[in-house]
Amino acid sequence: MKVPSLNVPGLRRRKANGLPGVTAVARIDRRTKRLTKRLQSGEIAIIDHVDIDRVSGEALAACAPAAVINIAASISGRYPNMGPRILVEADIPLVDNASPELLERVAEGDVIRLHDGMIYLGGELVGKGQEQTAETIDAAMTEARAGLAVQIEAFAANTMEYVRRERDLLIDGVGIPDVRTVMENRHVLIVVRGYHYREDIATLRPYIREYRPVLVGVDGGADALLDAGYLPDMIIGDFDSVSEKALRCGAELVVHAYPDGRAPGLERVHGLGLNAVVFPATGTSEDIAMLLADDKGASLIVAVGTHWTLDEFLDKGRSGMASTFLTRLRVGSKLVDAKGVSRLYRSRISTSSLLLLVATTLVTIGVVLSVSPIGQVWLNALRVAWNGFVFWLVGLFS
């Protein structure tokens, strides 16, 4: 199947000297989430991402690239990941298992041409791969589902290994640092830039307005809060995907470090002239955010964009997601998904209740004025004032 050439305003895909395929500027990065920060509409993304997950697929599709070239297998068969289907359904050509030397032969900003899985630079063939279609993705997904039991067994084994390494943290809270942000007896809203985070934040506006929870952004989740018009109280993560604007917004910074104490994100913080608390832990940054909120006495933890289903756990494609599963067991009934809050939450005083209260009050005042002597005096005074107003108004037009 040939790569489609869409006639969409703003895209820079074009034919070069009448040659077939897609010609556009190349943007290159082994880490997809870094690439999507600078990928522009109509450019060709070159990534090295085994098993493109749903979040990465949605992020790439939102950038509207002319095509995506993956050095790795977009569907390895380990589990049925959703990212490739999202790209193909968005009419974005996807080329898999491209030549590894492509990362060396093509530089950022080079204009390349993609046609039938072949990649050309200045007329020279510099790499090739397998172009994915809806049919090839369906076949790969069917095969991946057949091996899902193996992944579940591996997930269980990783879970037990995490329990062995982090039992003190999970059970007794050993290693959780002190922070200045007060969470005792307060709601805490933890935002991760994950599944449907924009929609979830939008639906939580009435809840945020009424309860004023502590706002915690996990890495890029801090930028999600800023984009929605909120100022985070705390930012937690390794700080590889959070903007400088967010880091400088005044929030308390908690750097997620490796268990041995190494914290690459701390160097960036100090480079900005800021200070941060260090939290060494094996799990993910969203996990330590929940553990921290629970340890500091939060009465309720509301999660936006985090992982809940088995598919979402597996979709991260790493053993560290076992910690996410156990963290939810540790936090227990305090933890609520944002979707659940938006469905169950009702304002303490609804609009209809306020209108009913106002109407009842007006009726009550009217009854009191009509039956009491003082009320009769007031009513007569109102009639005199009204008649005077009407006389004055008529005089203006006579």
User: Total domain count for the chain?
Assistant: 3
- Nearest Cα neighbor of 215 from 248, 192, 242 is 192
Model confidence band, residue 12 (pLDDT cutoffs 50, 70, 90): very low
Interior CA angle at 340 toward 337 and 342, to 5°? 110
Cα dist. 40→62, 136, 354, 363 in Å?
10, 27, 48, 61
Does 357 map to a domain?
Answer: yes
Does 396 map to a domain?
Answer: no
CB atoms within 10 A of CB 302: 27
Residues 334 and 359 in one domain: no
Model confidence band, residue 123 (pLDDT cutoffs 50, 70, 90): confident
**Coil, strand or helix: which one is 88?**
helix
Q: Which of 144, 168, 191 is the last residue of a domain?
A: 144
Residues 164 and 43 in one domain: no
Q: Which of 318, 344, 370 is the last residue of a domain?
A: 344
Ranges 146-155, 157-166, 309-318: which has the least confidence: 309-318
Residues 267 and 320 in one domain: yes
- Nearest Cα neighbor of 67 from 47, 51, 97, 53 is 47
Residues 284 and 164 in one domain: yes
Yes or no: say if 127 and 102 are a contact pair by the CB < 8 Å rule.
yes
Yes or no: say if 119 and 98 are a contact pair by the CB < 8 Å rule.
yes
Residues 340 and 365 in one domain: no
Between CA 138 and CA 105 the distance in angstroms is: 32
Residues 236 and 373 in one domain: no
Yes or no: say if 333 and 295 are a contact pair by the CB < 8 Å rule.
no
Strand 118-121 to 111-115 pairing: antiparallel
Residues 374 and 280 in one domain: no
pLDDT of residue 20: 87
Does 3 map to a domain?
Answer: no
Give me the residue label for tokens 């979040």: 55
Q: Any idea what DSSP says for residue 196?
A: T
Between CA 28 and CA 221 the distance in angstroms is: 24
Provide the token pair at 274. 């800021």
Mean pLDDT calculated for residue range 171-192: 86
Does 5 map to a domain?
Answer: no
pTM for this structure?
A: 0.59
Residues 118 and 178 in one domain: no
Does 324 map to a domain?
Answer: yes
Given a cut of 80, whether residue 121 has pLDDT beyond it is yes
Does 105 map to a domain?
Answer: yes
**Coil, strand or helix: which one is 300?**
strand
Does 102 map to a domain?
Answer: yes
Given a cut of 90, whether residue 105 has pLDDT beyond it is yes
Residues 310 and 358 in one domain: no
Between CA 58 and CA 373 the distance in angstroms is: 71
Residues 233 and 138 in one domain: no
Residues 152 and 253 in one domain: yes
In the chain, % of residues over pLDDT 90 = 46
Provide the token pair at 356. 């009913």
Yes or no: say if 191 and 304 are a contact pair by the CB < 8 Å rule.
yes
Kindly state the helix (H) or strand (E) to which residue 9 belongs, with its residue range: none
Q: Tell me which residue range forms the domain holding 234.
A: 148-344
Between CA 388 and CA 174 the distance in angstroms is: 78
CB contact burial 31-57 (16+ within 10 A = b; e otherwise): ebbebbeebbbbbbbbbbbebbbbbbb
Mean pLDDT calculated for residue range 346-358: 63
Between CA 228 and CA 233 the distance in angstroms is: 14
Model confidence band, residue 158 (pLDDT cutoffs 50, 70, 90): low
Calculate the average pLDDT of the chain.
Answer: 82
Residues 111 and 231 in one domain: no
Listed in sequence order, the residues at least 6 apart from 237 whose beta carbon sits closer than 8 Å to its beta carbon are: 218, 219, 254, 255, 256, 265, 285
Ranges 99-103, 245-249, 366-370: which has the least confidence: 366-370
Yes or no: say if 87 and 49 are a contact pair by the CB < 8 Å rule.
no
Does 398 map to a domain?
Answer: no
pLDDT of residue 7: 38
pLDDT of residue 335: 86
pLDDT of residue 383: 76
Q: Which of 144, 168, 187 is the last residue of a domain?
A: 144
Which has the higher per-residue pLDDT, 234 or 357? 234
- Nearest Cα neighbor of 256 from 239, 234, 237, 270 is 237
pLDDT of residue 1: 38
Listed in sequence order, the residues at least 6 apart from 159 whose beta carbon sits closer than 8 Å to its beta carbon are: 322, 325, 326
pLDDT of residue 337: 80
